[in-house]
Each structure stands twice: as C-alpha cells, then as structure tokens.
C-alpha cells in the first residue's frame, strides 16, 4: 500500500478516511478540494485541475481522495489500492449538513484556506440529483479496475471502521510493507 485512490460521493467520508490512513501509514494525503478550489471558493479551470492532479500522482507515495473523474484512469493506473466508499445517500446528506454546521464560517482541514464552510442548499441538491449517476461511474471504475489492484468496496460505516482496525493490526505486525514509526 503505497498509492491509495479513494473515491465516493460527497459526504461518504473520503477526506476523513484519507486523514486516518495518512496518520496510520505516514503516506502523504492529497485532497482534491485543494486542487479544485482556490481561496474564496474560486474554482480552478479544468486544465489546471488536470495538470495539478497529474503532477500530484507522479509522486512515489500518496493517498489521493476525491473526484475530478477526468483523471481517474491515470490515478487508477498509478494506484496500487482502490477504495470505493459507497454509503447511503441519507447518511451522506446528514454528514454534509453536520459538517456545514460544525465548521460554519471556518475552513475545514480538507479545504484551502479562505474557503469558509457554509450551508449550501445547491450542493445538497447536487448530492441528491447525482446519487445514481455518480454511483454508476464509481461502480464502473471499481468493477473494471485491473485484477492486480487491491480493491475495497465499503457500503457501511462499520466496514470502514473494521478496515481501519484491521489495517492498524497489519501495520503493527509489519504486514503491509509500510514502515511503522
């Protein structure tokens, strides 16, 4: 586990899982929102996002969470591990609402400075509208990933929690080839 690609729809826990994995493995974490947004919620243009993403995945080790699906093929080609967080839409909407309230007026750790959290009804509507189409794109990526990739498909919080617990055990016994500090 040297290059981990995490996909999932908004509110599925990609950023949280990436941070936990980074803490346990000491692999650098790349949040797509740092590539997608400039301070003040200014969106970068597509070409710049693509260039920044491709530059980031050239690094020898990483945990990369998030969208910009235009670069999924390149990310998957470099990744040795693919994690798909496929949690129910109701849970995801609750999580997005909760984080909006928790961080309201502040920048979350996975966002650039100057992107203050707000309650965004358009974003909540986007999550609802794309719940099926985004899931199908993720499913296609997951199902068509080469066999040599280590793949995880989580559909519940319990599965994610168990994965992290099992990972900690594997790291403790040196079973993943990742140096434990």
Report d(CA 97, CA 90) in Å as an integer. 11
pLDDT of amino acid 179 = 46
* Residue 148, token pair as written in the block: 């040599």
The CATH number of 3-172 is 3.40.50.300
CA gap 181, 177 in Å, rounded: 13
Confidence (pLDDT) at 180 = 43
- Check whether 181 has a pLDDT greater than 60: no
Q: Which two tokens stand for residue 64?
A: 């990369």
Q: Residue 173's pLDDT band (boundaries 50, 70, 90)?
A: confident
3-state per-residue secondary structure call for 143-163: HCCCCCCEEEEECCHHHHHHH
59 pLDDT exceeds 60?
A: yes
Binned at pLDDT 50, 70 and 90, residue 177 comes out as low
- Read off the pLDDT of residues 85-111 as tens digits, 9 standing for 90 and up: 999 999 999 999 998 888 888 888 888
Domain ranges of the chain: 3-172
Q: Could you tell me which of 161, 141, 25, 32 has the C-alpha nearest to residue 87?
A: 161
Q: Which tens digit of pLDDT belongs to each residue from 156-165?
A: 999 999 999 9
pTM: 0.90
pLDDT, residue 77, reads 97
């Amino acid at each position: 586990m040297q290059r981990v690609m995490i996909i999932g729809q908004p509110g599925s826990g990609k950023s949280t899982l990436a941070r936990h994995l980074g803490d346990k493995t000491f692999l650098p974490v790349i949040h797509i929102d740092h590539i997608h947004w400039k301070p003040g919620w200014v969106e970068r243009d597509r070409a710049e996002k693509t260039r920044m993403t491709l530059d980031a995945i050239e690094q020898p080790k990483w945990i990369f969470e998030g969208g910009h699906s235009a670069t999924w093929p390149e990310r998957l080609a470099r990744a040795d591990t693919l994690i798909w967080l496929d949690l129910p839409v109701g849970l995801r909407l609750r999580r997005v609402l909760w984080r909006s309230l928790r961080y309201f007026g502040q920048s979350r750790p996975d966002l650039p400075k100057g992107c203050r959290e707000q309650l965004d009804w358009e974003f909540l509507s986007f999550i609802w509208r794309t719940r099926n189409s985004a899931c199908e794109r993720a499913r296609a990526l997951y199902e068509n990933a080469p066999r040599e990739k280590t793949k995880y498909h989580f559909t519940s919080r319990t599965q994610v929690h168990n994965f992290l617990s099992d990972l900690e055990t594997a790291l403790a016994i040196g079973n993943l080839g990742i140096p434990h500090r």
